[in-house]
Amino acid sequence: MTTVDTRLEDRVDRRAGTASLLHVENLRVAFAGTEVVKGISFTARPGGCLAIVGESGSGKSVTARTLVGLTGARSRVTADRLDLAGTDLLHTSERAWRRVRGSRIGFILQDALVSLDQLRRVGDEVAEPLRLHGWGTRRTRAAKAVELLRSVGVPEPEVKALQRPYELSGGLRQRALIASAIALDPPLLIADEPTTALDVTVQAQVLDLLAAAKERGTSIILISHDLSVVARMADEVAVMRDGEIVEHGPARQVLYEPRHEYTRLLLDAIPSEHTRGSRLTGPAVRVRRPVDRDRPVLQAHNLAKVFRGPDKVDRTVVNDVSFELFGGETLGIVGESGSGKTTLARMALAILPATEGRCCCTAHPGRRCLPPSADRYASRSAWSTRTRSAPSTRAGPSARS
């Protein structure tokens, strides 16, 4: 019988460079009697990247979760073979899975951003696999977490490590997740849509990190709907449809000379280097009524937001922003990750008090701008914020009196 703790074998395999690290044969996953992964097979080899592509609901994420034993108690997983360098992953106890996850298989699951523990410090979240696997002391783990955050391009990592996930932008949180996934330099990395929520600048940094891991001999299973990402990273591509792999081959062949009709349709439909930013076939958005220039619905005047960091340093994240939104109009707010878009939207919704400036919802004529209150917010009438250096002023339910 093989023991789970066979990291040495992983390393030997990694150096060998050719032998497969992970073997998956006839994998089937069912929930409540309904099969959603229907007998798929693939291998992953050291220093290689297998991309799994396919439309939403085709079983990609379920496959990823199966490979880290996270399909849940209500699932039924069977396979002719599911092994990682000699370790049988099919008959693995929860205790044994805990030794595999993080150390032998690093993973970034889809929607993991929302599952970060909001009450724990980012540094502790990043260092969690180190702690679970008994790496170092509390102090050395904290230092390693800062190093990891730095290595994934997080600015001011010492400060960010002390903050909570909700204080970080989506791009920074995703980088923190990646830092955590690579903390123990696992031989296999599973990344489910790791760049979907990121702007192109951060996306490029994340891909560089994955490419560097691959260069070091890490085996990567990448799930992405973005063909430019797949084209850049993948050596092999498997195309999933309705729980099955309909086409599987070298990336170049699958992406540029697809054999299966479904792959051809998929390639036409999903974003690629060439299609990103261009219009989808047919108008994507229909304007139902003309813009009413006389009637601003929302007015933001000189909104600013300053956050005080754990190092007691104030940082301005939104600086003097004003806009008017008219009836029937769609206002697009764009900018790279961390530029203040979400903070601006939260101030506009009175979820977050502004440090300076005010925001008026003038959808109801005759109403004046009033201080924020949960009741007024709920009834969608007029509200505004003016809360300079007034930490006791809060929007949202806590303002209810």
Ligand X SMILES: Nc1ncnc2c1ncn2[C@@H]1O[C@H](COP(=O)(O)OP(=O)(O)O)[C@@H](O)[C@H]1O
Give min distance, CB of 82 to ligand X, in A: 17
Q: Does 56 bind ligand X (CB under 6 A)?
A: yes
Identity of residue 78: T
Q: Name the minimum Å distance from CB 242 to ligand X.
A: 9
Q: In this structure, what token pair is assigned to residue 284?
A: 């994507």
User: Which one of 47, 48, 54, 106 is in contact with ligand X (CB under 6 A)?
Assistant: 54
Distance in Å, CB of 72 to ligand X, minimum = 5
Residue number, 111 or 375, with CB nearest to ligand X = 111
Per-residue contact string for residues 57-96; x = within reach of ligand X by CB under 6 A: xxxxxx---------x------------------------
Applying CB under 6 A, which of residues 4, 36, 149, 210 lies at the interface with ligand X? 36
What does the alpha-carbon distance between residue 294 and residue 274 come to, in Å, rounded to a whole number?
39
Choice between 54 and 106, CB closer to ligand X: 54
- Contacted by 54, from Mg ion, ligand X, none: CB < 5 to 8 Å by type: ligand X
**Residue of 90, 75, 64 whose CA lies nearest to 32:** 75
58 binds, among Mg ion, ligand X, none (CB under 5 to 8 A by kind): ligand X
Site for Mg ion, rule CB under 5 A: 61, 110
Part of the chain binding ligand X (CB under 6 A), chosen from 52-60, 143-151, 365-373, 380-388: 52-60
- Which residue is listed with tokens 């009834």? 379
CB of 251 to ligand X, least distance (A): 19
| Structure tokens given for 131 | 């702690």
Closest to ligand X by CB, 31 vs 323, is 31
- Give the residue with the Cβ less far from ligand X, 30 or 325: 30
Q: Say whether residue 232 binds ligand X (CB under 6 A).
A: no
Select from Mg ion, ligand X, none the partner in contact with residue 303, using the beta carbon and a kind-dependent cut-off of 5 to 8 Å.
Answer: none
**Least distance between ligand X and beta carbon 244 (Å):** 12
Residues facing 247 on adjacent strands: 239
Taking the C-alpha atoms of residue 165 and residue 78, their distance in angstroms, rounded to an integer, is: 36
Choose between 109 and 354: whose C-beta lies nearer to Mg ion.
109
CA distance 119 to 335: 28
Q: Which is nearer to Mg ion, 110 or 373 (CB)?
A: 110
- Binding of residue 97 to ligand X (CB under 6 A): no
Residue partners of 251: CB distance under 8 A and separation at least 6? 51, 230, 231, 234, 235, 236, 237
Long-range contacts of 144-150 (CB under 8 A, 24+ apart): 144/183, 145/179, 145/183, 148/179, 148/180, 148/182, 148/183, 149/122, 149/123, 149/175, 149/176, 149/179
d(CA 65, CA 267): 25
Count residues binding ligand X (CB under 6 A).
11
Please name the residues in contact with 252: beta carbons below 8 A apart, sequence gap of 6 or more: none
Task: CB nearer to ligand X: give 269 or 291.
Answer: 269
Shortest spacing between CB 104 and Mg ion, in angstroms: 23
* Rounded CA separation 340/334 (Å): 10
Whole-angstrom Cα distance, residue 303 to residue 359? Answer: 7
Q: Which residues bind ligand X (CB under 6 A)?
A: 31, 36, 54, 56-62, 72
